[in-house]
Structure 1
Amino acid sequence: MRRLRFGDWGVAVDEALLSQVGARCALGPFLAEAGPPHLSLQAEALTEGQGTPLDPRRPLGPRFRIEGDVVRVEPPQASLDTELALRVGLQLATLRQGGLLLHGAGVAFQAQAVVALGPSGAGKSTFTRLCAREAGAEVLSDEVVGLYPGARVEGSPFCSDLDLPSARARARLAAVLFLEKGGEERLEAVSAQEAIPAMMAQVFRPLPGEASQGEVLQRLVRITEGVALRRFIFRKDAAAAGFVRDWLHGWHASG
């Protein structure tokens, strides 16, 4: 078993589930020292009819079943199955630590994190790449991030673009940006009434028997209190990264 750290929890993962880890998973920042795990992911066959498909689009593919602190996962058939199995472990660990998991990008300017959200094509990977290459930000993930109590952001091993592996595991949440492509860089204030539903649309679907949508909503409201909520209109240009970095430093200093 190999131990990964998700949040403050250690998760023991069966080597069989890591046998097909692809280039889209960067485990380095999440490797943990040996110690008693809070959860374990074990590879084993499930009885016919048991479990939930790892990929809802493939109902006949590998399945998983949560039994207390153990997640039983059928052996992966491809690297995507391994990624999906790790996502189940990450989501379960996040939920049980009072957090929630989002489809989104995260970067850290020193200890201050910015989470960027938007539908497919909004520019999450572009935003991440610009911040990392042009403004010295560390990548948390360009695909999946966790929000935890105390406004903490946790990155993840997953990347949608191979040149954007996670370089840092955690930072403090300073701002949530809703991305839009445009002809210039500007920020617009977003109310909590608008931001919360938009964020909920990016939350991972509930796991069987775990936190309900209502509970996740309450967590999201608490975690984002005092966090800057903005719409970021930007170009695919190096200036966009410096714009966010300078705004973040100014906003933090004034706060």
Structure 2
Amino acid sequence: MATSVQITAGDQRSVVQLVSQGVVWPIVMAVLFLAAILVSFRWTDIGFEPFQIASTLRLMWLPLLYLITFSGIVIVLGLPPLQKLVFIVINTIFVGISEEVMFRGILFSGLRSRFRFWPSIWLSCGIFGLIHVLNAVQTGNWTASTLQAIAAFQTGLILMALRVRTGSLYPVIMLHAVWDCLPLLIATHVANGVNEDQPLPAYAYLAPLFVTPNFLYALYLLRAKGLAKVRHVESRGGLLGRGA
């Protein structure tokens, strides 16, 4: 979900080329691997639960404002060629599925079996952020990847808050995919004139501030009063069963 921060941090060309020139098969294989694990071990309690659309949309009002803004920019700039559009949509869908099942599904559920609620939250978000530093192995830009990791930690918290408050992975998978997709569509216009070797612009270092409102809103959603509204999750998935 931190793709928007990555592309504003000066790493546009490598990311856009990766997701717009073909299907990123390692991501597809990751989804298939996770599916095989879930079926083999019969893990049915990681968050694939129905959710209420109306209440979920109310909870997602702030992330949706971001998406509306992104959509407006896409409308103004125009869509990329059809082939690029299709590949970006496909790849971001698979990224949303793989990362949410892994981090807000399997990892969080596993942590909840051993730790209390808040340590599980911070550990899962921290690991999610650190994983994004590894993007530097591919791009070679450690500064941009570190900025992305900070943003990923922050956005991981809003995704986790929505996962807990809705009781379902489905809304966060959709949010994650669309959040990645729209900024990448914008980046197809921006990246054409960007040299990968040029230094990061000064504004790139403030990029994590872009998602700070989501981070603060996540803390609000996870306050004690908010969690009191989802105690019913305990009987289904045990998310709150060991206490907060």
> Normalising by structure 2, what TM-score?
0.26
Structure ranking higher in strand proportion: 1
Q: Which has the higher contact order (CA 8 A, sep 6+)?
A: 2
> Normalising by structure 1, what TM-score?
0.25
Structure ranking higher in helix proportion: 2
